[in-house]
Amino acid sequence: MYYLVNPTAQLNGDVNVPGSKSQTARGLILGTLAKGTSHILHPMLNLDNYDIAQCCRLLGAEVDTSNDEDWVVTSPGLEGLHIPGAVLDVGNSGTGYYFITTLAAMLEGKSIVTGDYQICYRPIAPLLTALRDMGGTAISTRGNELAPLMVEGPIKGGYTVHLNGKNVQWGIGLMVCCPALDKPTTIIYDTPLGERPYANLTMDWMKAAGVYLENYNYEKFVIPGNQTYHPFTKRTARDWCSASYPLVATAIMKEPCRIKLLDMDINDFMGERHYVDWINQMGGHVEVLNDGKDGVIVEGGHELHGIEIDCGDTPDAVPALAVLGCYAQGKMKLYNIAASRMKETDRSKTIAQELRKMGAHIDEEEDSLTIYHSPLHGATIDGHNDHRIVMATACAALGADGPSFIDSVDHVGVSFPRFYEEMRGIGANIIRLVEK
């Protein structure tokens, strides 16, 4: 499937941003660990979370996703879970990959964990090493420390494991699962931990399930053992990552215009809430009403100028921020981007490659991108089967001179299933095509 994106001068109207992808995933895993019935309110209805839900079913939980506003997880608790009768396939979900691998290692017996071809090249070696250090078995069937994996548990408490802080996802499964172990578990990060908002929202959802860990300045986490998970009812916040695309698209509009993102929460844990600050610092106008409860107003038609942004906590923001940089006077520097290179694609390299097709001037270094003000023109864009590349380049194309074609656009279903409908609803000239 393709998008034909035509130049658009104005965007106006309201945007309904979906519930948080990351929070829904944590709710599914914690609901599976808790004995009883848990409710995840306002879940994100995306492909990743449906895949995680299916994995939880295979492990012994009942997951009812029939109500779009209330997903219900009924579980026998960890003691009632079992190894699956089929392969645990996480699809394209990186979050699910790390959670399900760890959860499978909690169970006695062997499980096979895999995903789509992108998952099968996604780094996981630090987590596998940690599971082995804790008494589990983790074997890469290809012998390269990548999926497919054979995981055998149960892992034990009482160990200290060391992780690289480059990717917080290597540790989130341990944070969520280790409270059930019989002894304390300690995680030490040998390098500074990035993506800290994801650690914070993990701890927040753990609290809802009645378990906790001790955080020592994000350098060490001590997880007491023998904790009991309790069923919970918790609502996800609106997803700031998804919100970033209409935010950016409106901010780069040439003519005065205005959209409202409905029912947001500026106090949410997600680092992408800082788009509000970044766009304002660049000379744009974003206004938060009543902490976002009454909406977030974004205006177009303002002249932007480049700034420097530390992306250590927000690697998923790199593609959309690179688009902003193309439309900003001067230059924009994005640094601390290492984690963005370990997603569905090397997103820093990929977004630079695709924006250059449109005329962008971008300098790429190992840990930074420098984007110069660049008049963009229409082009044929490879979405690389990466939802964030598709959505970022679609935003870039709205302000470009001439039409653009973007492929693999069905992948937006990974994180923003209604991206097309919401963008069309505010006036984006995007046409969805079965054939180019």
**Is residue 316 among the annotated active site residues?**
yes
Give me Rg for the CA atoms of the chain. Answer: 21
User: Are the beta carbons of 255 and 303 closer than 8 angstroms?
Assistant: no
Residue whose C-alpha is closest to residue 316's, from 343, 349, 336, 335: 343
- CATH architecture of the domain with range 2-18+238-433: Alpha-beta prism (3.65)
Percentage of the chain modeled with pLDDT above 90: 99
* Torsion from C-alpha of 91, 96, 100, 103, nearest 10 degrees: -170
- The count of residues in the chain is 436
pLDDT for 260: 98
Tokens 């290492």 -> residue: 338
pLDDT greater than 80 at residue 382: yes
Query: Edge-to-edge strand order for the sheet containing 12-15?
Result: 12-15, 257-261, 296-300, 285-288
Q: Mark residue 402 as left, alpha or beta (left: phi above 0; alpha: psi -120 to 50; beta: remaining).
A: left
pLDDT one-digit tens code per residue, 156-188: 999 999 999 999 999 999 999 999 999 999 999
In one letter, which amino acid is 114?
A: T
State the Cα–Cα distance between residues 26 and 205, nearest whole angstrom: 7
Percentage of the chain modeled with pLDDT above 70: 100
- Give the pLDDT band (50/70/90) at residue 35: very high
State the Cα–Cα distance between residues 168 and 333, nearest whole angstrom: 23
403-413 b/e with 16+ CB inside 10 Å = b? bbbbbbbebbb
- Give the pLDDT band (50/70/90) at residue 116: very high
CATH tag for 21-235 (out of 3.65.10.10, 3.40.50.300, 3.20.20.150, 3.40.605.10): 3.65.10.10
* Residues of each domain in the chain carrying CATH 3.65.10.10: 2-18+238-433, 21-235
pLDDT greater than 80 at residue 379: yes
- Give the pLDDT band (50/70/90) at residue 435: confident
In one letter, which amino acid is 396?
A: A
Structure tokens at 267: 């106090």
Which residue among 316, 382, 386, 407 is the active-site one?
316
- Using CA atoms, how far residue 321 sits from 138, 172, 408, in Å, is 37, 26, 21
pLDDT one-digit tens code per residue, 53-106: 999 999 999 999 999 999 999 999 999 999 999 999 999 999 999 999 999 999
- Using CA atoms, how far residue 424 sits from 27, 239, 240, 249, 303, in Å, is 31, 19, 19, 12, 24
pLDDT greater than 70 at residue 308: yes
Q: What is the pTM of this model?
A: 0.95
Q: E strands along 116-252, which residues?
A: 137-140, 149-153, 160-163, 185-189, 214-216, 220-223, 233-235
Structure tokens at 140: 């890469």
pLDDT greater than 80 at residue 285: yes
Local structure of residue 304 (DSSP, 8 states): P
pLDDT greater than 80 at residue 436: no
pLDDT greater than 70 at residue 250: yes
